[in-house]
Amino acid sequence: MEAVYRRYLPLIHTVVSRGFSGFRGFFDPVQRDDAVQAIFAAAFEERARLAYDGVHDYARFIRGLAHNVCRQILDKDRRFSRTPETDADGEGGPDVEAELVRAEALEACRRFREGLADPLERRVLEGYFARGEAEETLAEALGVTRYRLRKVIAQLHKKMQRFKREAGLE
C-alpha cells in the first residue's frame, strides 16, 4: 500500500489541486490534504480493490475514484449541496415557484441542445456538461484529442453564454 501511495500521490495531488470538469480544485491546503487522504482511504478499501480489474491502467482507475470522492466531498459541503432547501415552515413540500423555474430551465436546455447542429458538440454537451465525465475519458470515447475536446468545450461554453443572454436567462 505504501508503494501505491508514493507512486500515485503526485497524480492525486494534481487532481485535488487543479480540479476537473468544472471543479477548479480545493484552494484550502487543509481541504486538499483531507481530500487526498479520503481518496487513498477509498482506494484501499476492499470494495475498490475488488473493483480494479488489474488489466487496465491503474492511474486511470484511481483518477476516476478521485473524481468521485471529490464530488462526494463537494456534495457534503452545504455551499455546493444539490438537495433542495426546505421552505420557511421547515417542511419539504412542493415549491411551485421552484418547479416553474426548473421547468423553464429544462425547456431552455432542450432548446439549446436542439440548436446544436454539430453531432460532436451534442455528444460533448451530454458527456462533459450533463454527466460530468472527465476530459480524458470523454476524448478517448469520442476519438478526439484532449486539445480538440477542450476547444469544443470552450466553443460550447461561449455558445451557452450567448444563448443565455439572448433568451433573457441572465
What's the confidence (pLDDT) of residue 120?
A: 92
CB 105 within 8 A of CB 91: no
The structure's pTM equals 0.46
Half-sphere exposure of 102 (CA within 13 A, CB side): 7
Residue 88 DSSP symbol: T
Task: Taking each helix axis as running N to C, give the angle between helix 135-142 and helix 146-167, from 0 to 180 degrees, rounded to the nearest 10.
Answer: 100
Q: Which residue has the cell 455551499?
A: 79
Residue 54 Rama label (left phi>0; alpha psi -120 to 50; beta):
left
> Quick check: helix, strand or coil at residue 94?
coil
58-77 pLDDT per residue, tens: 889 999 899 888 888 887 77
Helix, strand, coil share (%) of the chain residues, nearest 5 = 70, 0, 30
Cell of 100: 416553474
Label residue 37 by pLDDT band (50, 70, 90): very high
Average pLDDT of the segment spanning 89-118: 78
> In order of start, what are the domains of the chain with their CATH numbers?
2-80 (1.10.1740), 96-167 (1.10.10)
Label residue 166 by pLDDT band (50, 70, 90): confident
Residue-averaged pLDDT of the chain: 83
Label residue 92 by pLDDT band (50, 70, 90): low
